């Protein structure tokens, strides 16, 4: 199997994912998964599509991850891994879709409006 690549995005984070056959090593920006995401919940989020299909030890994953915060980066990486797994085996798509790993989360920061302090907040109203 040659190298399969896919892209995952979430908020301002972009994950470029490169999957090859291997032993289950995940490398993010030349660091291990455990050193890049010390929080075990974020590690769990990243590994969800692999564990759903039971291929955690089958593929080596190399990732270039830029932008956003740590949660957005973890969810962007999850989407990228899911898209790469679908490219490898299209029969896995229904299972990944049912778990919600193939859908790009469209929520992003709402822009600030002119004449207001924030996107929806208004200055205090004074009747008199």
pLDDT in tens, 47-89: 999 999 999 899 999 999 999 999 999 999 999 999 999 999 9
Long-range Cβ contacts of 66-73 (<8 Å, 24+ apart): 66/13, 66/14, 67/12, 67/13, 67/14, 68/10, 68/11, 68/12, 68/13, 68/14, 69/11, 69/13, 70/37, 70/39, 70/42, 71/42, 72/10, 72/11, 72/12, 72/13, 73/10, 73/13, 73/15
pLDDT of 1 above 80: no
State percent of the chain over pLDDT 90.
95
Mean pLDDT of 96-106: 94
Model's pTM, two decimal places? 0.90
pLDDT per position as a tens digit, 14-36:
999 999 999 999 999 999 999 99
């Amino acid at each position: 199997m040659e190298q399969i690549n896919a892209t995952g995005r979430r908020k301002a984070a972009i994950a470029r994912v490169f999957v090859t056959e291997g032993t289950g090593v995940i490398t993010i920006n030349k660091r291990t998964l455990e050193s890049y995401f010390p929080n075990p919940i974020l590690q769990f989020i990243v590994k969800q599509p692999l564990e759903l299909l039971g291929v955690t030890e089958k593929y080596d994953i190399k990732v270039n991850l830029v932008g956003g915060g740590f949660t957005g980066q973890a969810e962007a990486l999850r989407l990228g891994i899911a898209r790469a797994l679908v490219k490898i085996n299209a029969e896995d798509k229904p299972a990944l879709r049912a778990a919600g790993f193939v859908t790009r989360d469209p929520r992003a920061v709402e822009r600030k409006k002119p004449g207001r302090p924030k996107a929806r907040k208004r200055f205090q109203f004074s009747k008199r």
